[in-house]
Amino acid sequence: MFNRNKSVFLIGMAVVMLFVSSGCAKEKTDEEKLAEAIQKSIANSANKTDASTKKEEPTVESKLVEISNFIIGTVWNEGFVNIGSYKSRGTSSTGKELDIDFTIDRLGKAMEKKAEYDAYIKGLDAKYDNVKQVWTKLSGETDNLYKQLKENKPQANDKSYKFNTGLFEQYSEAFKDDVQALKKK
């Protein structure tokens, strides 16, 4: 009888263990739930990162704004304005020391970028003829001023050095205005 009770007890325990283990299989432990939540979070984060790194093709208008900003920021502010100030006052436009050779070298790198923009604008369709016309003038004047700097570098405080940026300013302002007008359409 003792063996029989022991057998019944063991069989009962096995059944209980079976129920318990099958119940546990359906329920996840807190650790499993946490691990799963972390994995989902990482996957969602990776998907968001992938979506944010996929760049949309720029519109013509946004590309023209980029070009306008390049002319104003890089060519004008970092180049021609500082060079004009250097030849007049011997400093940058903000009154700081200026390495003229470095400035002209950086302007040369900007001219390489400008050549890419020349090709881009040349390839635009007739809808952008007005912008193309102004760019042609602006690009040509930019080339003229850069050529002058390469051929005859200014010296600090040289009031006799002629570096006339009037046409460049006129064309760059017109280009900026025409690009802004396109954005409003």
Q: What residues does each domain of the chain span?
A: 60-183
**Could you report the per-residue pLDDT of 17-68, keeping only the tens digit for each?**
544 455 554 566 766 766 676 677 677 766 665 555 566 788 999 999 999 9
Residue 54: its pLDDT value, please? 61
Q: Quick one: DSSP state of residue 93?
A: T
Ordered DSSP codes for 150-170: HHS---TT-TT-----HHHHH
At residue 161's C-alpha, the angle toward residues 156 and 163, to 5°, is 105
Q: Cα–Cα distance between 39 and 73 in angstroms, integer?
A: 45
Question: Collapsing DSSP states into helix, strand and coil, what is residue 147?
Answer: helix
Buried b (16+ CB within 10 A) or exposed e, 86-109: bbbeeebbeeeebebeebbeebee
pTM beyond 0.75: no
